[in-house]
């Protein structure tokens, strides 16, 4: 059975984003427009070549609204966005843990490994982090090297720095209630 997915290009302060959703409105991928080959490579690894179709179409409004809210400084706007991926059980564990890292906060690969109960697996955590198909929403940009350095980011270190700076600039202004748009579909 072929997985039918919809892909849309969305403008952002970081350039165009490629957002892939499934029929249920869950985000399957979010990557940068200039990294489209990476998106296809990760999908081939996760789902298998030819096991999915990507059809251009409009992004689900609740996902667009959440992304707009995040970039406007409402950092928790992405919390309610449902995601789905097809990683290994270990990758899925890491990706779930990434969503628990609060905005404007960073963790080292080692600390994330300890957090998931695998303290000796910091390199494996790094590899899983690097295979994350859902940038920004699954915030792999919040993971840094052991010396506090910005290391590896699929969208480039300039984007990682921008995301962290954006979150720090808005960390004190996360409203409890969002007016004008819904967080859930």
Apex CA 65: angle with CA 71 and CA 23, to 5°?
125
Neighbours of 68 (CB within 10 A): 15
Residue 44 bears catalytic tag: no
Whether 180 and 172 have beta carbons less than 8 Å apart is answered as no
Which is catalytic among the residues 140, 143, 144, 163?
140
Name, in order, each residue with C-beta under 8 angstroms of 123's C-beta and a sequence gap of 6 or more. Answer: 109
Residue with tokens 């999908």: 43
Q: Which residues are catalytic?
A: 140
């Amino acid at each position: 059975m072929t997985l039918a997915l919809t892909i849309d290009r969305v403008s952002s302060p970081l350039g165009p984003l490629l957002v892939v959703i499934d029929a249920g409105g869950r985000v399957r991928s979010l990557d940068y427009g200039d990294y489209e080959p990476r998106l296809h490579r990760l999908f081939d690894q996760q789902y298998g070549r030819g096991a999915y179709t990507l059809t251009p179409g409009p992004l689900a409004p609740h996902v667009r609204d959440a992304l707009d809210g995040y970039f406007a400084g409402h950092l928790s706007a992405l919390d309610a966005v449902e995601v789905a991926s097809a990683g290994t059980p270990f990758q899925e564990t890491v990706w779930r843990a990434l969503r628990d890292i609060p905005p404007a906060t960073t963790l080292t690969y080692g600390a994330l490994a300890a957090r998931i109960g695998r303290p000796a697996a910091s390199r494996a955590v790094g590899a899983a982090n690097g295979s994350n198909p859902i940038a920004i929403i699954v915030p792999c940009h919040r993971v840094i090297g052991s010396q506090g350095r910005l290391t590896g980011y699929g969208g480039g270190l300039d984007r990682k720095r921008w995301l962290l700076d954006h979150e720090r600039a808005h960390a004190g202004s996360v409203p409890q209630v969002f007016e004008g748009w819904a967080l859930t579909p």
